[in-house]
């Protein structure tokens, strides 16, 4: 069944418009409640959010929908997305919800749903919930309407889970760490974890006001973190996104280290400890060819999936792997968590740094990445630029020019109306020229 409101990571869009209205959120909650009702026990849902102004509106609508369907609601307030996976299981909830548009600007918002096992929903589950939204809501009888309460302090359960992922034989004593929380969901938890493990912490973007989430900060805008690392002489920078499920790290010179290098480092560390499961790392089609070739040299496979961290998780579960992620900084370590977790990934990097007793610039560069260029082209509603003959011809021409040494990947985004154009190969000038030619063709057909 074709999904209408769900994208690659839940429901996402401009707040108070389209699929992100209170009315849609209420119906979504009622449908999700109906989908996950199992047995006669008292059902419950946990709801967390990031720091967007519209989070209050969406939270209230979801609360109304779930309680009207007879579910009790635990309101957690601002917590990282991975905390919802942890707390859904810990609190024995039937559904977990995270209200966040991740790395998007504050004007957008989103709804991510988790099943009782703490994992994001499959395509089939999302399609079933959409189908239920088309029918009449199953409202509870007056005596069976759910209760709601705001839960204080449950974010500290996640703090303990994060700390437990760091080796007990190590501390962060002696390390100066800049942590950029993107004025988002981890503005309290991330500095707390690093400080409690012994680091000298320099916090950035920890003053959310509802509209400054991801604004010139965080993993998608790392310049402030880079500058702070250099200015403070820090050992490492940790740049999270708005819901803290992705991370980029910054070495002592201010250079950004992406998710591919982080996965390579963690996989090598696991391999040495005979703890790498499944004989492979799972990544998406966006990961650099350099990562694939580096892992092959270690005797480790690379399993590629479509873009979206939940597809990475599905493949990890199917193949029995415990390391996976995306170049964008979603790193999934299934020994500790059920979804991308920027803080836990950063802690594994810090553990490697402590073990190596070497600077981050040495420890974190595990392979030479092929030149890769990624650009986005926005298109008008209803336009289908990838169907245009000029676009297909441009793609074919670039593929011929790059040959077997490179590759081209064109895809529509699952979270916003843009076409992602990516190419990589040994010659940067050729890659840049190829991407520019394809983008020009897409722009001409984009309406």
Point out the residues that are catalytic: 102
| Residue 427 contacts residue 391 (beta carbons within 8 Å) | no
- Give 127's Cβ-side CA count (13 Å radius): 6
| Residue 178 contacts residue 204 (beta carbons within 8 Å) | yes
Angle between helices 259-272 and 289-297 in degrees, nearest 10:
10
| Residue 220 contacts residue 211 (beta carbons within 8 Å) | no
As a dihedral over the C-alpha atoms of residue 70, residue 74, residue 77, residue 79, rounded to 10 degrees, the angle is -110
In sequence order, the 6+-apart residues with CB closer than 8 A to the CB of 21 are: none
- Give 445's Cβ-side CA count (13 Å radius): 17
| Residue 99 contacts residue 56 (beta carbons within 8 Å) | no
Q: How many residues does the chain have?
A: 447
Structure tokens given for 430:
């050729």
| Residue 186 contacts residue 217 (beta carbons within 8 Å) | no
Residue 335's nearest CA partner among 327, 152, 344 is 344
Residue 296's nearest CA partner among 260, 330, 264, 325 is 264
Euclidean distance between CA atoms 14 and 366, whole angstroms: 39
In terms of DSSP bridges, do strands 280-284 and 301-305 run parallel, antiparallel, or are they unpaired? Answer: parallel
């Amino acid at each position: 069944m074709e999904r209408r409101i769900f994208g690659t990571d839940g429901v996402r869009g401009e707040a108070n418009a389209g699929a992100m209205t209170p009315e849609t959120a209420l119906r979504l909650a009622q449908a999700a409640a109906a989908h996950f009702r199992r047995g006669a026990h008292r059902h419950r849902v946990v709801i967390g959010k990031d720091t967007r102004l519209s989070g209050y509106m969406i939270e209230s609508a979801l609360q109304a929908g779930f309680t009207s369907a007879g579910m009790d609601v635990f309101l957690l307030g601002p917590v990282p997305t991975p905390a919802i996976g942890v707390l859904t299981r810990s609190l024995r909830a039937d559904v977990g919800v995270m209200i966040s548009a991740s790395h998007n600007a504050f004007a957008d918002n989103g709804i991510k749903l988790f099943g009782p096992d703490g994992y994001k929903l499959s395509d089939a589950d999302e399609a079933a919930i959409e189908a239920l939204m088309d029918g009449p809501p199953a409202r509870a009888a007056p005596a069976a309407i759910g209760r709601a309460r705001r839960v204080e302090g449950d974010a500290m359960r996640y703090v303990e889970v994060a700390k437990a992922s760091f080796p007990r034989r190590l501390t962060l004593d002696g390390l100066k760490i800049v942590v950029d929380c993107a004025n988002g969901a981890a503005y309290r938890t991330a500095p707390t974890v690093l400080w409690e493990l012994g680091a000298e912490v320099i916090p950035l973007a920890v003053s959310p006001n509802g509209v400054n989430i991801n604004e010139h900060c965080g993993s998608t805008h790392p310049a402030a973190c880079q500058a702070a690392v250099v200015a403070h002489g820090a050992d490492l920078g940790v740049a999270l996104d708005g819901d803290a499920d992705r991370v980029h790290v910054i070495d002592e010179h201010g250079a950004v280290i992406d998710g591919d290098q982080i996965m390579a480092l963690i996989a090598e560390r696991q391999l040495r400890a005979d703890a790498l499961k499944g004989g492979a790392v799972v990544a998406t089609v966006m990961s650099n060819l350099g990562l694939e070739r580096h892992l092959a040299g270690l005797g480790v496979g690379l399993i590629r999936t479509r873009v979206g961290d939940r597809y990475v998780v599905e493949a990890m579960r199917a193949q029995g792997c415990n390391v996976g992620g995306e170049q964008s900084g979603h790193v999934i370590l299934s020994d500790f968590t059920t979804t991308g977790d920027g803080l836990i990934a950063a802690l594994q990097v810090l553990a490697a740094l402590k073990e190596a007793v070497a600077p981050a610039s040495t420890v974190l560069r595990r392979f030479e990445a092929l030149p890769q260029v990624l650009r986005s082209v926005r298109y008008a509603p209803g336009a289908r630029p990838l169907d245009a003959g000029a676009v297909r011809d441009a793609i074919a021409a670039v593929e011929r020019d790059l040959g077997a040494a490179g590759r081209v990947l064109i895809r529509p985004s699952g979270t916003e109306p843009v076409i992602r154009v990516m190419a990589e190969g040994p010659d940067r000038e050729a890659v840049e020229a190829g991407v520019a030619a394809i983008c020009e063709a897409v722009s001409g057909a984009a309406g």
